[in-house]
Amino acid sequence: MRESRLWFWHILSAIVILFLLGVHMGTMHLGAILTSIGIGSRDPVQSAEVFHRSQQLVYMITYILLLGAALFHGLYGLRSMLFELSLSKGMEKAIGSVCALAGIVLFIYGTYVAVRVFQMPQILAVLKGGQP
């Protein structure tokens, strides 16, 4: 029952990732093509653009949602692959715990970064003033 529920979340997180990461990858890696049709940016990793996006509420929420969905999807997938190696029950428990702990730590760190950068309005002002 627990495994089927986790599998359900694995599929659901895949659908969430598909949309959010699709937009993210499009923005970051198809910029040159998208700008030719009038959308997106040619240099999306430029600091002014990065901080402009990071300081919008919708982006901050999106980052945190994507972070959670991708961590769960990726670490659950890794756990499933490792379980196929026919390990002992103790080893399976240890792997499950390490994956869960890693997921929680990375989620807390990523969320902290997203929220802290969102709360730094002075950065935008500095960038608008032309300072590096």
Partner 1 sequence: MQNRLNNNLGFRGWVSGGRYGLDRYAYALHRLTGLGILAYFIMHIFVTGARLGGPGQWNSRMAFFGRPIFKLGEFLVFLAFAFHAINGIRLVIIELGYMLGKPGLPAYPYSYSTLRQKPLFVVVMLIAAALMIIGGANFYSTMR
Residues near partner 1 (CB under 8 A) are: 11, 14-15, 17-18, 21-22, 25, 29-33, 42, 45, 47-48, 50-51, 54, 67, 70-71, 74-75, 77-78, 81, 84-86, 106, 109-110, 113, 116-117, 120, 123, 126-127, 131-132
Q: How many CA atoms lie within 13 A of 18 on its CB side?
A: 6
In angstroms, the CA 96 to CA 19 distance is: 27
- Kindly state the smallest distance separating residue 118's Cβ from partner 1, in Å: 10
Nearer to partner 1, 98 or 127 (CB): 127
CA neighbor of 20 nearest in space, from 72, 59, 53: 59
Query: 54 with 118: CB under 8 angstroms?
Result: yes
- Kindly state the smallest distance separating residue 97's Cβ from partner 1, in Å: 18
